[in-house]
A and B are shown apart, each in its own frame.
Chain A
Amino acid sequence: MAFADQDDVTSMHHPHSFVSKYIWSQDHKVIAIQYSLTAISVGLVALVLSWIMRLQIGFPGVFDFIDPYVYYQSVTMHGMIMVIYLLTALFLGGFGNYLIPLQLGARDMVFPYLNMLSYWFYLVSVLILLSSYFVPGGPTGAGWTLYPPQAILPGTPGTDWGIILMLLSLAVFIIAFTMGGLNYVTTIIQARTRGMTLMRMPLSIWGIFVATILGLLAFPALFVSAIMMAFDRILGTSFFMPTIISMGQQLDYGGGSPILFQHLFWFFGHPEVYIVALPAFGLVSEVLATHARRSIFGYRMMVWAIVIIGFMSFIVWAHHMYVSGMNLYLGFFFATTTLIIAVPTALKVYNWVLTLWKGNIHFTVPMMFAIGFIFTFMNGGMTGLFLGNVAVDVPLSDTYFVVAHFHMVMGVSPILVVFAALYHWYPKITGRMYNNTLGMIHFWITFIGTYLIYLPMHYLGFEGMPRRYYNYDNLDFISESAAIANASITVTAIFVGLCQFIFIYNMFVSLKKGKKATANPWGATTLEWQTPQTPPAHGNWGPELPVVYRWPYDFSKPGAPNDFIPQNSDWGLPKEEDANPTTGKPFKV
């Protein structure tokens, strides 16, 4: 089929065999599903690792197979997998790949072959990471932050091979991400259909766009630190290694700076959390607006907030380093920027709440998860204010307060958005409806359960219970009741984790048994819901690309035939013949 459209800049590929359609596919929808399935699978591995950690903390000494090595390896792999291989890959590789061409009215990404390569490089990076379980010494146990000098010195698990494989896996992931990121940015800049101006893009695209730019600029810092640490480990250089005695012997290192690693790592690490958060913000805006039948409150401010958060995320990184011994005035600077970045973030939260105000709220499963996001993100964000201030951070640093904070903002809120988005777009991707009852059960168990897990954890942090400790045997300042709290957190965590299989079951069984979905079951306005076929066929739009006449939030407009007006509808607008074709201006009557 020939697609001969002047505005059609994407290069089309037309696969014919099963292998070229579903395996070596260059179609962004297939690649998105490949990314998502891989990310969720490896996320389930990380979930099991979290159970191992919790079993040790909640019931110390009961499980013999969890020795300190296993424990620290689980801590490290859980963290690295969840942050990078699940959240980053799912939001950008999964949702980014699926939604960008569809919501912009393009047929595919501008570099489909590169897109395909990016997925396979991602898969290779996952396999390299998991292969560290099968090498002598096992995976690295240095913590997801991989701080030198301990990361490459004996005493830390995985210093033989595990750390090398981890660094190699990160390097391959960064290459994959760069390939994907080039696609997303170039497609958004170049391949928007006629009428789709930047300010008519849905907020999900804005979130993914700015997050991709952040990633492209921040991942090099991780790449640099990974290469330098690999040199230190393999070639014996001393980029990060000070003069040091290990196991009674003076080592051949000297002159390096562990703090340099921390600066490089967190220069990546802080934008990384916004790379996870910004797409989540964008996706949740879509879900809230659609299921409340209201335009998002303050669209322009939301776009500005995303851009400002993106820019500012590069000047807050040392709030992860307050206890590294740095100059207090430097700490003060970073505390100031950290508190300033809270302003656009809070603005977004107010706008989400105001979107719901007087809205015609449909309490569908996606909407429940989206409202759950607002609650949990607010909690997590407020504890961030505590940690953002230097003086308050000093006693709370490296305690369970930090663990509770980052799980709320990274582990609970974005995951609630992932669920909201997967339920919301399920009918479009699969052409079927999920089981609503199972979805509601999944929501309530997850929402209440994650509060039961993380709320007590804040108090454990206040008590001073340190993180990354294998056991707490000789720590007198930790009260007896902490043991009860830990045990209850463990039991709840395992129960909530197992209940995620309700979601997995729902997703797979509804593929066959779910009710067939209409093209636009939620009455959404964005372009992906206006495709001629559901699920969208190869080429997405049929012979002609859509034309966009309006912004994506025309809900509940007075006088309109429906409570939503799709972006490609010209209802209420002057007719085309009445406009000058060069400038788009109406002819003077």
Chain B
Amino acid sequence: MKFLSILRTKPWLVPEQRPELIKPSGIRTVPEPMIGLGIFLIIAGALFLLFIISYQYRMDYQDWQPAPEPWQLWANTLFLLMSSIAFQISSNAAIQNKYQRAKNMLMLAGILTFIFLLGQVWAWSVMNGTGYSVKANPANSFFYLITGVHAAHLMGGLVAWLRALKKIDRSSDEHGIQLSIKLCAMYWHFFLVVWLFLFYMLLVT
């Protein structure tokens, strides 16, 4: 709504409240990297939404056979959930200036994510071994594809995680460290939600 009222202003007139004369109030606005990450997550969301729409489209065909769900997927879900929690604890600790705790939690979060990724590879190899290969039927194809894209995004996130670790070790810029960890947490929460949604779709179809 605010955007619509912005579009209704008449910029050729001198406004009563002249924007150029308003001194910056010093209230902290959203930092740019957070806006950048937010927009990126919207794009990633659009990507996964399109995959899911394609999945739904294909599911409507009569020859649909659902893919199996190895137990490893449940365990992986747990590890991803724990890594999200670890990121959040780390972020809270950093904001309270408890940097040792923040660093420990950050390392734990990354390790849990590695375990998740390894677990995904394990789940794939189990499925492949029991004959549900990537090309065997379309449900499988989508399963490997969508979990693969999800895993690829987490691997990218691990690059950011490494940078956050490096910052917490070497940098003395408090705001920078807090922001890095907060952004990692935001990213991981998003991909946890994406994973939960995908897993749910896999279970009910």
Contact = CB atoms under 8 A, between A and B. Distances in A.
Contacts of A579: 18, 21
Given A110-B32, A238-B135, A584 B7 contact: no
Interface size class of B (residues with CB under 8 A): 35 or more
Contact of B39 (A182, A198, A235, A263): A182
B23 to A, nearest CB: 5
Nearest to B50: A224
Nearest to A267: B50
B138 A238 contact: yes
A197 B135 CA distance: 53
Contact of A228 (B11, B33, B40, B145): B145
B6 A260 contact: no
B20 to A, nearest CB: 3
A186 B20 contact: no
Interface stretch (B55-63, B78-86, B106-114, B196-204): B55-63
Contacts of A256: 138
B172 interface: no
A92 B79 CA distance: 41
Interface stretch (A80-88, A453-461, A477-485, A544-552): A544-552
B32 to A, nearest CB: 4
Given A224-B54, A231-B134, A547-B20, A573 B14 contact: yes
Interface string B5-33: 01111111010111111111100010011
A235 B134 contact: yes
Interface string A103-117: 000000011001000
A469 interface: no
Nearest to B38: A186
Interface residues of A, number: 67
Nearest to A231: B145
A311 B103 CA distance: 44
B193 interface: no
Nearest to A263: B57
Nearest to B45: A220
A547 B18 CA distance: 12
Nearest to A198: B6
B7 A300 contact: yes
A260 B58 contact: yes
B129 interface: no
Give chain B's interface secondary structure class: helix
A471 B61 CA distance: 39
B4 to A, nearest CB: 10
Contact of B50 (A200, A264, A573): A264
A200 B11 contact: yes
Interface stretch (A35-43, A67-75, A120-128, A188-196): A188-196
Given A221-B50, A300-B7, A186 B35 contact: yes
A199 B47 contact: no
A194 B54 CA distance: 45
B118 interface: no
Given A111-B36, A239-B54, A223 B22 contact: no
A581 interface: yes
Contact of A231 (B14, B33, B141): B141
Contacts of B43: 178, 216-217, 220
Contacts of A295: 12
Contacts of A200: 11
A512 interface: no
Contact of B19 (A185, A195, A255): A195
Given A182-B40, A223-B47, A255-B138, 14 more contacts: A182-B36, A190-B32, A195-B18, A216-B43, A220-B50, A224-B54, A231-B141, A238-B138, A239-B142, A255-B58, A299-B12, A574-B14, A581-B22, A582-B23
Interface of B: 6-12, 14, 16-25, 29, 32-33, 35-36, 39-40, 42-43, 46-47, 50-51, 54, 57-58, 61, 63, 134-135, 137-138, 141-142, 145, 149
